[in-house]
Structure 1
C-alpha cells in the first residue's frame, strides 16, 4: 500500500529547514515562490560558511550522468546557474534582492575512457542525456580526442565524452547571494537542540532555546544528516556518512593548450578517477592555475561520521596518486607546483550514492533532502524545487524523484546506481 503524504495544514504553513547550505537555501528560495508564501525558519550553525561542503567543492555542474533523475536535476541546475534563472527566482522571492554574479565558467566537462566497458557506458549515457535535452554533448573516438585536445596523451584512450554546456561557478557567491536575497522573508536560527513528536509527527522543535511549532521540517544537513534523525525517537537512520575529499590548487608554468572554441580547458575526468580544471579563463597570459582531486577507491574510503569541522587534507594523494596521473595524461603538468590544499566533507550515501528525497516513512511531516554524494550543489535547485512541491502537493510535479525515496533501501531491487560518480 502506498503511504499517504501530508497536505498543507494551513493556507500559510510554518516550515523549518535544518541546514542552510545549498539545498536548504534552494528549498527556501523555491518555497518562497508559492502563493500564499509559507513562514520559513532556516537553521544554520555556520553563517560564514567557512566549512560548508559546497564552498569547499569544485563548484561543477554537468549533465553527464547515467540516471534519468540526475540528468534532469543537473539540466535544471544549469538553467539556474548558467542563465539568469537564479536572479529570476530571487526577484520573485524578494523584488529588492540584489543580482548575484555566480562567475559561471563555461568550460565544459570531458570524461575519458580507456576500456571497452567504459566506452560502452559513455555511449549509453550520451543517448539518455541527449533524449533529455543535453544537445551540446558529443562522443569523441580515439584520435578525435587528440585533435580536439592536442595537449592530452591519448595513446591509451578509446573514447571521450565532451559536454560543452557544462562548467563551474563560485559556490560562495551562490550561498551568500541567496541568503542575503531571501533574508528579509525568513527567520534564522543557529542551534537545534530538541525535537518533540506525537503520532509519528514532529510537533515542535527547540531552536536557540525557544520551542517552536512547525507543520513541515526539511532535513538538509548534508554530511550531518543523522544529527536531525537522532533527535527523533523510533525513527530509522539514514545511510549517510561523512567522507573526506581533498582538493589541490596547483600552478603549471607550461599551460596546456586551451580548447580554441572556448579558451578554457574542460573539467577533465581521467579513467583513473583523477580530475582537474582551470580556475579561470585561460589566455596566453594566463597564470596557469588549476585545481584537482580524485575519486578514492572503496578500500581507501574512511568513515568519518563523528567528524569535526576542521579536517586535514590527505597530503599524500598529490605525490602518490594525482600528480603521476596528471603527468601521464599531459606532459605540461610535469612542472606543476602545489600552492594550496584543503579538504571538505561529502554527504556520502553508502547504499547507492544517490540522493534521498521525500517524506521519511517513520515521520509524516519530515522531508528528507540528503545523501547526494558530491552532487548536492549542482542538484540543489532541482531538489529545492522538489521540496517545495512536496510541501504544496505532497508529490513531485516537475522531475519525478520517486525512486529517490527512503523506502528503496528496504525494497528488493530498490537501489539505483549512478555510473557517473566523481
Structure 2
C-alpha cells in the first residue's frame, strides 16, 4: 500500500469512527426527548446496530455496492475484488455501515415510546436487507440507474436521511399516537422530554460526528477538498440554528430548545447532499431554509395528529427532500466538474435538467421506502403486533420490556411518598 493510500485509509477510518460515534448522540437525543419511564429503553440502539452490522456484512454491502443496475448481486460477506488505488474493502464496509446505522437510528424515532422491542430487532434486519441497500445502490452504486442519470447526493440527504425519515413517518402513522397525546377534540397535549440537557449534548455529538459524515465522504485526504466540505457543512448548520430560533420566536414567542436543536439537525441533513456541490453562500441559504422549514412542519404535523416524538420526519424527511432538491438549484459548475456527477443547477443557467433528476430520485426513493416499510410493518402487526399493551405503555417500556427503571431512586421515592400519604 502506498503512503498516500495509507493516509486516505486513516482518514476514512477516522471518519467512520466519527459517524459511528453519532450513535451516542442519537441515544442522548432520543433519551432526553422522551419520558423518564422510557429513557433506558434506548438500549435498543445497541441491539439494532448489532443486527444491522451483521446483516450489512453478510448481504447489505453487496446489495448496495455490488454489480447490477437495479440491485447489487455480488459481494456477499465482502467478497468483492479490491480496486487498484482504492481503500481496502474492510474500511469501505466500516464507513458505509456507519451510514446505514445512522439511517436506521433515524427510523427508530417514529417507533419511540410505544413499539415492542422485538419489532425493533426484526425491522432492523428488514431495513438493512430490503430498504436501505436498494435506494443506496440506485444512487451510490457504480451501475445504479439514478447514479447513471447523475443524481447528486454526496453524503446522503436521500440515501441516509430521507429513507430514515420516511420509514419513521410510516411507523408513526401505523403505531398511532401515544396515550394522552391528543384530546377527543383533536387538540394536542405537550409531552415534554425528561432531560433537555441530554438532548442538547446529543445534538452537539451528532454535529461533531457530521464532520466524518460529509467531509469523510470525499474518501481522500490528498487534495484537501474535505476542508471545503467541512466549511459548507458548518455554515449551513449555524444558519439552521439561527433560522429555527427566529421561527420559534415567531410561532410561539419563545426560543424553544427542541426547535433550535431540530434546526441544526435539519440544516445538517439538507447540506449533506449539497456540501460538495454548492458555494459557501448557497450553503447558508440551504441551512436557513432547512432550519425554518423543519420548525414550521413540526408544528403542522403535530396539529394534524401525527405524533412524531422526536420529529424524525420533519428533521430528516422534509429537510432531506429540501437538501436533495437544493443541488438542482445551487450546484456550482466548478464544483460539479470537480466531483464529476450530474450538471450545474438552475441558478447557474443549468436549466431544469439537474433539478428534474433530483426530483425523480426523491419521489422514487420516498415511494419505495414507504411501500416496503408499510408492507413489513403490516405483516409484523398482523403476526405479532407492533405496539405494547396500554398497561405496559403506562408503566413505561423500561420496566415492561427490561424489568428495571433507569431512575429507580425516583420511583422508590414516589412510592415512599404514596405510602406516607396513606398512613397519614
The reply to whether TM is greater than 0.5 is no
Normalized against structure 1, the TM-score is what? Answer: 0.23
Normalized against structure 2, the TM-score is what? Answer: 0.23
As a proportion of its length, which structure holds more helix?
Answer: 2
